[in-house]
A = this chain, B = another copy of it.
Amino acid sequence: MSKQFKSVQETLEKYIPAEELSEVKRILYGYNRGQHVKSIPICQEALDLANKNNFEIVASKVEAEPEQLRKPRIVRLGIIQNSIGAETTAPVQDQYLAIEAKIEKMIDAAGAMGVNVLCLQETWHMPFAFCTRERYPWVEFAESATTGQSIKFIQRMARKYNMVIISPMLERDEVHAGTIHNTAVVVGNNGNIIGKSRKNHIPRTGDFNESTYYMESTLGHPVFETIYGKIGINICYGRHHNLNWLAYGLNGAEIVFNPSATVGELSEPMWGVEARNAAMTNNYFVGSINRVGTEYFPNEFTSGNGKPAHKDFGHFYGSSYFSSPDNCCTPSLSRVSDGLNISEVDLNLCQQVKDKWNFQMTGRYELYAKFLEDYIKPNYQPNIIRDPSMK
């Protein structure tokens, strides 16, 4: 076993005999509808790109039932996880270009595979330097969501492959006093900028010192209607907030991406749970994306956990995967390497599962609107019934 464990699914398949493996995968990953989750072949061009540039490709498809009045709405979704491309001591522009060079090859592979909608990882164009609490040079990675070099690059790739691309990035909002935001820009298949979404929930835990760099979004829960379906973006820590997932769903999202940056010790057992719960209970597809590798910074920092100062955030464990609105999930990328995960889905499955389970019809949203209205009042009295025999 290497220093970093590679993948749970690979381990299960290596050791467990076929008949029992089928039960294990049914229960853990929802493969009870075997006919509905299949591998799809990876074309030679994509394989060559992957081999030459050291990234992994995983590809699967999730089917839906045929309907009488609607045709299948088949789209290929792609998610990319990557490590940084240069040392964090390199000049900012060199660091950016090194990542861009990696991403370009992976988007080329996605293009070769006919991916229609692609999402990159959180602030893909920079190291996740927010652990340091240092301002410079890290805030120099921030750039305009409409004219920055990273968005120009994404627009070029979107046009090249007729692809919708979501670009999660560190935004400098020049119109609003140069404030910084954790943003996802949605680029249409013509290379046009459709709009942007921002991170709704900013962590205050572990080394996630992001609240010293940017604030909570005031843009709400926009859903972007593209030629390939309706898309929401729940950035990183928002995956711990069920209301955040819910709001994208009630606004009509069929696909919600969760571009993230998270490390093993803190969150790994949550990674396979929260996004799947969101997909199951809101009935949309989720693409969960985590960066990969360990990033070392020039100056040491502490983590508020009593441990000595150090220069890294820990291992970003990758493991990017898709969850389906029924209850399946696709195989993940590994915990250790750059990769492109592709899932061909039929968006009709979203409404089919809603019609099967009726969660939205039984949701009692009036009750909860009232509950939250009461809860936020300073004098809220929780509904506690105390055992009267207690002293």
Contact = CB atoms under 8 A, between A and B. Distances in A.
A24 B246 CA distance: 30
A240 B32 contact: no
A185 to B, nearest CB: 12
B202 A362 contact: yes
Contacts of A385: 186, 194-195, 222-225
A328 interface: yes
Contacts of A26: 268-269
Contacts of A386: 194, 224-225
A269 B280 CA distance: 10
Interface string A260-282: 00001101111111101100110
B376 A369 contact: yes
A358 B201 CA distance: 11
Residue among A28, A237, A366 facing the most chain B CB atoms (10 A cut-off): A28
A328 to B, nearest CB: 7
Given A28-B28, A250-B382, A385-B194, A277 B272 contact: no
Interface residues of A, number: 94
B280 A270 contact: yes
A281 B240 contact: yes
Interface string A102-126: 0000000000000000000000000
B358 A203 contact: yes
B366 A376 contact: yes
B273 A277 contact: yes
So how many copies of this chain end up in the complex? 2
Nearest to A243: B368
B250 A375 contact: yes
A5 B216 CA distance: 47
Nearest to A200: B364
A67 interface: no
A387 B194 contact: yes
Residue among A216, A241, A274, A371 facing the most chain B CB atoms (10 A cut-off): A371
B369 A372 contact: yes
A133 to B, nearest CB: 17
A17 B364 CA distance: 47
Interface in A342-391: 356-359, 361-369, 371-373, 375-376, 382-390
B230 A327 contact: no
A368 B221 CA distance: 10
Contacts of A223: 382-385
A269 B29 contact: yes
B272 A281 contact: no
Contacts of A268: 26-27, 32
A53 interface: no
A247 interface: yes
B272 A280 contact: no
28 contacts: A15-B20, A26-B269, A27-B269, A28-B28, A30-B269, A30-B270, A192-B389, A194-B388, A201-B362, A203-B362, A204-B361, A221-B371, A224-B385, A225-B384, A225-B390, A241-B362, A242-B246, A243-B365, A243-B368, A247-B371, A250-B371, A251-B384, A252-B382, A269-B327, A273-B273, A273-B277, A273-B280, A372-B372
Given A223-B382, A240-B357, A369-B373, 5 more contacts: A5-B23, A194-B388, A250-B371, A372-B372, A373-B373
The 3 closest A-B pairs by CB, nearest first: A30-B269, A242-B242, A369-B372
